[in-house]
Every structure is written in C-alpha cells, then in structure tokens.
Amino acid sequence: MCARLVGQGIDAGLLTKPFHQQRTPAGSSSGEYFISSNLFWTVANFRQFTAEIRLLVQYMRRHYDYVGLIGLSSGGFQAGLASDCEDVDFLFPVMTGCALGSVTWYGLLTRHIRRALERRGVTESDLNKVWSITDQAVLGQHCRAKFRKQYISLYDRVVPTEYQLKLWEVYGKPDRFLLKSSHSSFYFSRAEIIDDIARYVRHCIGK
C-alpha cells in the first residue's frame, strides 16, 4: 500500500506498533502484548505508539508541505490520538472505530481477551471506562486534522461496523467510503483505497 502511494507521488512510511509484526518479541505472537487483558499495560502501549507517531509527524513537518496519517484497523486508534495532539493535513481512518472496550468485547479476534476479563469480573462497561483515556469516543472531538475521509468495512466482525460508524459520527460525519468487505477481505480493496486516497489528497491541495 505504501509503495502504491509512492508510485502516485505521495511519500509514505510504514509504522509498526510495539510488540507487533517486526517488533514481536521472540516466543510470542504478533500483537499479543499490545492489546491484552492487562488493562493498564495496554494503555501504556497506546501511549508509547502515539508518542512515536507524534514524533514522526513533528519531523515530517520540517520536510513536507503536507502531512497525513492513515490509520488501518487498530492502528487507527493511535493515529486518531496523534491527530488530537498534532496538526495534520489529512487523516484517513480505515476499518477502525471507537468505543474500544466494546470493540474488544465483540471483536472476532479479541474474544480471548473478553474471556480473560470476565474471569476477573471485568465488564464491557468497566473496560470502556478504563480505556476511555485512549478512546476517540471521548477524545475525537479534539481531532486537529484539516481533511478527513473514513473507510468503513460494512461486514466487519473484527472491528464491528457499528463502532466504525460511531467513530464517523464522532468525527462530524466526514467524507466516507463504504467498503463491501469484511476485515479480511479488505485485502482485495487495497489498491482501490490507496487510489482513492491519492485522488482525495490531490483534490484537497488543488493538484
């Protein structure tokens, strides 16, 4: 996806979260320690990655006329948080949402976290309260992105669609692109989304 953006004249960098993909500790699975049933550890991880995004935005500001963020899936949580703190020209939430406790509670890939929390007596409401400090449901009204367009997967069971639509409302119902896909079948829409983002950027900056 980044290479396709570069091919259309938009420089792009790929960020990797702590404990995810190339940053996965030996002997663990990707993302296992990033979003977990350790509630405050998860908050600390969100804070760490948001700080990394903010540092990169500040660096890019010194080198580019326009700076934007694409937040894909759970990466949209931290991209959104960074946009609350930094002036960015573009924000593109892709298959991401808010009400993070509820996303985790009902998401297909986080059922094991729900079970672990239920065994400790933690409820969905408790989880939303604890994670509210990281949640655009609470903070999204402070988003500083000048232009926003959201990409919503209509048949999503990983980040359930209702919470993607809730984020769209929090952001003031910006332009949106409705994907007739699930979380996984988004794979087949990647080129279409990147091409649409490139067109949107060129339109907004008058090129």
Query: Which tens digits make up the pLDDT trace of 132-180?
Result: 999 999 999 999 999 999 999 999 999 999 999 999 999 999 999 999 9
pLDDT for residue 91: 98
Whether 24 has a pLDDT exceeding 90, the answer reads no
pLDDT for residue 145: 98
Q: Is 18 helix (H, G, I), strand (E, B) or coil?
A: coil
pLDDT for residue 22: 87
pLDDT for residue 34: 87
Phi, psi angle pair for 133, to nearest 5° = -70, -15
Task: Look at the block and give the residue holding tokens 């999204």.
Answer: 140
Q: Which helix (H) or strand (E) element contains residue 90?
A: strand 90-94
Q: How many CB atoms lie within 10 A of CB 40?
A: 9
Q: Which helix (H) or strand (E) element contains residue 39?
A: helix 39-61
Q: Is the pTM of this model over 0.85?
A: yes
pLDDT for residue 17: 87
